Amino acid sequence: MYDYPDIKISGCQKCGQCCAKPNVLILLDRKAQQTIDKSLQDDWKGFPVMKSDKNGCAALDDKSCSIYDIRPFYCRVYPLDIREIDGRLTIISQTCEQLSCRIKDSEKDILKKITDFRKKDPEYFSNLKQLRYILSTDGTSF
């Protein structure tokens, strides 16, 4: 199985607010599907996702992630939003709820690491693109 890219993000206060959003939608990559307990996984319109409800992600325990060491790719790169536009990866830096998370790597380094990761799990990026399309057509944010 592959390793996740090491993207340097600092300043996280571990407040849990990013995980506590009601019905947060966290797409699972192939490695996460194999390592995270099935009781924490769900299916949303055919996509493998973390279970969530009105209190947020099912792995959130108080303000801590109960699966932090094996958390999915999506969580590892937050607050980065990765999009594919015209076949090229694009990174959009979202705002952390506490305004504390900072990206330490350069955009060039991040793009290289994510491009390498895409080669290891192309299905994740295909699912991400399809999921974004579905959500954009029904007005739901991701």
Q: Which of these, 10, 8, 22, 18, lies nearest to 98 by C-alpha position? A: 18
Residues 38-88 have pLDDT tens digits of 999 999 999 999 999 999 999 999 888 999 999 999 998 888 888 888 878
Kindly state whether residue 102 falls inside one of the protein's structural domains: yes
Residues 83-128 have pLDDT tens digits of 888 878 888 877 776 666 777 788 888 889 999 999 999 999 999 9
Q: How far separated are the first and last CA of the chain, in Å rounded?
A: 27
Kindly state whether residue 142 falls inside one of the protein's structural domains: no
Kindly state whether residue 2 falls inside one of the protein's structural domains: no
Kindly state whether residue 4 falls inside one of the protein's structural domains: no
Kindly state whether residue 80 falls inside one of the protein's structural domains: yes
Find residue 52's DSSP bridge partners.
57
Kindly state whether residue 46 falls inside one of the protein's structural domains: yes
Kindly state whether residue 101 falls inside one of the protein's structural domains: yes
Q: What is the pTM of this model?
A: 0.86
Number of structural domains (the chain) is 1
What distance in Å separates the CA atoms of residue 102 and residue 95, rounded to the nearest whole number? 9
What distance in Å separates the CA atoms of residue 29 and residue 33, rounded to the nearest whole number? 6
Q: What domain range is 88 assigned to?
A: 9-136
Residues 12-27 have pLDDT tens digits of 777 888 899 899 999 9
- Residue 32, token pair as written in the block: 């996460």
What distance in Å separates the CA atoms of residue 8 and residue 108, rounded to the nearest whole number? 13
At residue 11, does pLDDT exceed 80? no
Kindly state whether residue 58 falls inside one of the protein's structural domains: yes
